[in-house]
Amino acid sequence: MNRREFLLSSVAMSTLALAAPQPAFAQDKLTILGSVPSLGFPFFVHMLNQIKAEAQAQGVNLTESDGQNSAPKQTADIEAALVQKVDAIVISPLDVNALAPAIEQAVQAGIPVVTIDRRVDGVEGILAHVGADNVKGGEAEAQAMVAAFPNGAKIFHLQGQPGAGPAIDRNKGVHNVLDPLKDKYQIIFEQTANFARAEALSVTEAGLAANGKPDAIICANDDMALGAVEACAARNFTDVKIYGFDALPEALVAVRDGKLAGTVEQFPGEQSRTAVQIAVAYAKDKTEPKEKLVLLTPIVIGKDNLDKAERLGETK
């Protein structure tokens, strides 16, 4: 099989994989692709559920795509959607650089693309981006930690997945706050845990073994924060203040119970619904969005403002 035959075969197989679980579509309905990086992360399960709910509310069909934490898989899903001739694409790309060529291919094919959460800056013609201001989110997370330790602190910093826009921006926000204060607030251990709980557990264990107990641990998402909680609990370091990001229901419970000091709410449901609304409006009658860049301002959720969390109703 030559390269061209292989590529065509791959697209065809991806098309079957995307199309198989979907019901027969009415011919008069628009169809959009909703793609997230990985349904192995609760954050993206919530995001895709909100995309699905808004697509239903808008009266359009949805082809669902789970990138399975693989840029080639998410790329193949986009290519399959182009073969299917979807009317619009709403996507949170796993890696903004790796997915750029496929997204550019969709734009050049005349398909409106709206990105969520992770912004692709290198592609001209994307209809809109809807996300949180992750730099401000990282700043808010660091500021909450500073407020908890007015006399200074030793800090672990668990970073997100390299190449992911939110990880880059949250890291920048944390350093925007802490770097000017480095005499009082020292990052004594900093390493990626790729947004994964199990990896955060092992990374935190390594950090504790090498550096001893910190005063606080700042994490780029809740899964990593919960992994850090496990590592600290195993050593009975229950007074370490740990901060997460995403306000997942499990993290909100941990905040309520005092296991997490806080988590950053970035309103992913609102991001997802807004992105679908923009995509459908353009697909229907070429309605341009009022803003090409829609950024929601994240807030830190602590015990005192749990009622502000988008997913509080899902907690047990």
Torsion sign over Cα 2, 8, 110, 97: negative
Residues 125 and 186 grouped into a single domain: no
Q: What is the pLDDT of residues 265-289, one digit of tens each?
A: 999 999 999 999 999 999 999 999 9
Predicted confidence at residue 14, as pLDDT, reads 44
Number of domains in the chain: 2
Residues 283 and 237 grouped into a single domain: no
113-116 sheet: strands from edge to edge: 61-66, 31-36, 88-91, 113-116, 128-132, 293-296
Residues 142 and 69 grouped into a single domain: no
Residues 167 and 259 grouped into a single domain: yes
Residues 222 and 197 grouped into a single domain: yes
Q: Domain span at residue 181?
A: 134-267+302-314
Predicted confidence at residue 119, as pLDDT, reads 87
Statement: the pTM of the whole predicted model exceeds 0.85: no
User: What is the pLDDT of the chain when averaged over all its residues?
Assistant: 91
- Out of 74-88, 112-126, 183-197, 232-246, least confident range: 112-126
Residues 178 and 260 grouped into a single domain: yes
Predicted confidence at residue 12, as pLDDT, reads 39
Predicted confidence at residue 164, as pLDDT, reads 84
Q: What is the pLDDT of residues 129-150, one digit of tens each?
A: 999 999 999 999 999 999 999 9
Q: What's the whole-number mean pLDDT along residues 37-58?
A: 94
CATH of the domain at 16: 3.40.50.2300
Confidence check: pLDDT of 213 > 60: yes
Q: Which position has the higher pLDDT, 279 or 11?
A: 279
Measured in degrees and rounded to the nearest 5, phi and psi for residue 5 equal -65, -40
Confidence check: pLDDT of 15 > 70: no
Residues 263 and 288 grouped into a single domain: no
Local structure of residue 289 (DSSP, 8 states): P
Q: Which residues contact 11 (CB under 8 A, 6 or more apart)?
A: 76, 79, 80, 83
**pLDDT band at residue 223 under the 50/70/90 scheme:** very high
Predicted confidence at residue 136, as pLDDT, reads 97
Q: How many CB atoms lie within 10 A of CB 291?
A: 11
Q: Which residues contact 265 (CB under 8 A, 6 or more apart)?
A: 246, 247, 298, 299, 300, 301, 308, 309, 310
